[in-house]
Amino acid sequence: MNVVVVGSGIAGLTAALHAHEAGHTVTVVTKGGLGGGCTPLAQGGVAGSYGPGDGPATHAADTISAGAGLCNPAAVDALVADGAARIAELLARGVAFDRAPDGSLARGREAAHAHARILHAGGDATGAAISAALCAAIQRASIPVREGTTLLDLVVEEGRVRGIMVLRDGDTAEIRGDAVILATGGAGQLYAHTTNPPEATGDGIAAALRAGAAVADLEFVQFHPTALPGTPVFLLSEAVRGEGAVLRDQEGRRFVFDSHPDGELAPRDVVARTIARQAARQGAPVHLDATALGADALARRFPTIDRVTRARGFDWSRAPLPVTPAAHYLMGGVVTDRHGRTTIPGLYAVGETARTGVHGANRLASNSLLEGAVFGARAAAALDRPWSAAGDITPCPSPTDSADADVAPEPLPAFDRAGMQRLLWDEVGLHRTGSGLQRALRIVRGWAAETPPPSDARAHEDRNLLRVAEATIRAALARPVSVGAHHRDDPAPAAPTPAHAPILETA
């Protein structure tokens, strides 16, 4: 079988390696260079290494709790059941996870985890270590990689995906495949402040939407609570708070306890919204205070953060750092079953591109790298199965436009990406209202209608961002109640609307 994998993060490369090792012919297509995207930027670790008193069931319970109960339990069970094998595989491929003094794997704890179960590499360079190991494995296997190649659209013939259309060096081309695995990451570039790299423009999700694949949960965008303002925004790992750093307001008070009994270790959506409210209230950034950890401990445990913050003129061992929330992770995406299969035969989706159901309304810290490894391998294993034997997917209901707000017409501003990002940040960000969402929907639709056909890679990215933006706004309008990472400032309706239909599967 000829398999085309689009994307070169942990999910795509894991899928490519497993497909190759199963005897399939594999081609990897990536917009940047091999090993680009979000994976090498991941400072946090991989959840799933269990110590005394911990185990898969507890990890699953924490995942579902963080997801506000909207996770698919079968998908969560698959994640925790396969986690140990995928971690062992990463070790075998050469990922040097950090060790305790006795030689055992060192486990860290992060927000909303009941136990220390998170592995790191290089202190705060886990993603970079994983990416390097997987890229080396791809090269050893001589799997062809087409770098600098932008996904344009899926090729669908007689109801089945048969390949992709791509753009490279200004020329379009078709790459045929018996199966296509989308692993293109999320859509952080929708927002004015994001920890995502420039290539995170929702290409796979937009292509899947145009092909008619089901998507779900795009309203659930996770904003990381602590990013260092600047160009670019720089992520300050949640593990810093896990190690004991605290958040302080202008008066030096630990204000997050006002919103949640777990304080700095509350779920990310709670911490992010609390930071945003406090910063607005005091008219200045809040600060992350890690001074109690000491210079030596900070440099040893977080060498990347230590290096970057010092290069930007901060000494975080002596003074707290200003922080802001930033768009970080998309819980929704292309709907799949537990094996990465979508609603279109021949099309698979893994990693942040996919909506596996693992994350529900809010991703548990350090589950993303694990999800990429687990479902990348599961998708590759499903290539040999007849599509009709797969578990069934019940498509989520299509959002309908809400009529709960009357917004005065306004002239359509000229489109540019920065303006779109400001619009999404203001109206579809941490705090949302019906009127703001309706305003954003009108503007995004106007831009999409007036945008000329794309002629280069950036124009194709803009087309994709507008497509995903519209779907995200419609999903947010269709959920008038606050849950997880989706927060509505409108008064709650008398009865909450039902959650999206679950994914129903067979063994």
- pLDDT of the residue at 230: 86
Which of 215, 202, 175, 131 has the alpha carbon at shortest distance from 474?
215
pLDDT band of 492, cuts 50, 70, 90: low
Q: How far apart are CA 361 and CA 71, in angstroms?
A: 7
Coil vs helix vs strand at 241: helix
Please check whether residue 59 is in contact with residue 80, taking contact to mean a CB–CB distance below 8 angstroms.
yes
What is the average pLDDT across 175-189?
A: 98
pLDDT at 388: 65
What is the distance between the alpha carbons of residues 119 and 46, in angstroms, rounded to a whole number?
5
Place of tokens 């290096």: 307
Q: Which residue has the higher pLDDT, 507 or 320?
A: 320
Per-chain mean pLDDT for the chain: 92
C-alpha distances in angstroms, 108 versus 32, 47, 54, 98? 32, 9, 13, 10
How far is 169 from 44, CA to CA, in rounded Å? 35
Q: Return d(Cα 208, Cα 52) in angstroms, integer.
A: 43
Residue 228 host element (H or E): strand 221-228
Confidence class for position 447, pLDDT limits 50, 70, 90: very high
Q: Hey, which residues are catalytic here?
A: 268
pLDDT at 110: 83
pLDDT band at 501 (very low <50, low <70, confident <90, very high): very low
Lateral strand order in the sheet of 246-248: 234-235, 221-228, 321-330, 286-289, 246-248
Q: What is the pLDDT of residues 152-170, one digit of tens each?
A: 999 999 999 999 999 999 9
Q: Write the burial class of residue 139 (CB in 10 Å: 0-12 exposed, 13-18 middle, 19+ buried).
A: exposed
Contact 264, 256 (CB under 8 A): yes
The set of residues, in sequence order, having a beta carbon less than 8 Å from that of 358 and lying 6+ positions away, is 63, 67, 71, 72, 75, 76, 79, 367, 371
User: What does the alpha-carbon distance between residue 226 and residue 322 come to, in Å, rounded to a whole number?
Assistant: 9
Mean pLDDT of 30-43: 94
> In this predicted structure, what is the pLDDT of residue 409?
73
pLDDT of residue 101: 96
Return the pLDDT at 491. 75
Residue 231, pLDDT score: 83
Read off the pLDDT of residues 348-361 as tens digits, 9 standing for 90 and up: 999 999 999 999 99
Helices 126-140 and 368-382 cross at an angle (nearest 10°) of 20
What local confidence, expressed as pLDDT, does residue 60 receive?
98
Span 354-375, average pLDDT: 96
- CA-wise closest residue to 350 among 75, 110, 96: 75
What order do you get walking across the sheet with 2-6 strand by strand?
145-146, 25-29, 2-6, 179-182, 347-349
- The residues facing 27 across adjacent strands are 4
Q: What is the pLDDT of residue 408?
A: 65
- Ordered DSSP codes for 428-475: SSSSB-HHHHHHHHHHHHHHHHHPPPP-SHHHHHHHHHHHHHHHHHHH
**Predicted confidence (pLDDT) at residue 292 exceeds the cutoff of 50:** yes
pLDDT of 111: 78
Distance of CA 350 to the CA centre of its chain: 11
- Model confidence over 235-289: pLDDT tens digits? 998 889 989 999 999 999 999 999 999 999 887 788 999 999 999 999 999 999 9
At residue 120, the pLDDT reads 95
The mean pLDDT of 316-343, rounded to a whole number, is: 97
Cβ count within 10 A of residue 296? 9
Question: Per-residue DSSP letters for 116-147?
Answer: --EE-STTT-HHHHHHHHHHHHHHHTT--EE-
The dihedral over CA atoms of 285, 290, 291, 296, expressed in degrees to the nearest 10, equals -140
- The structure tokens listed for 380 are 């590759």
Residue 408 to residue 417: CA distance in whole angstroms: 24
What percent of the chain lies above the pLDDT cut of 90? 86
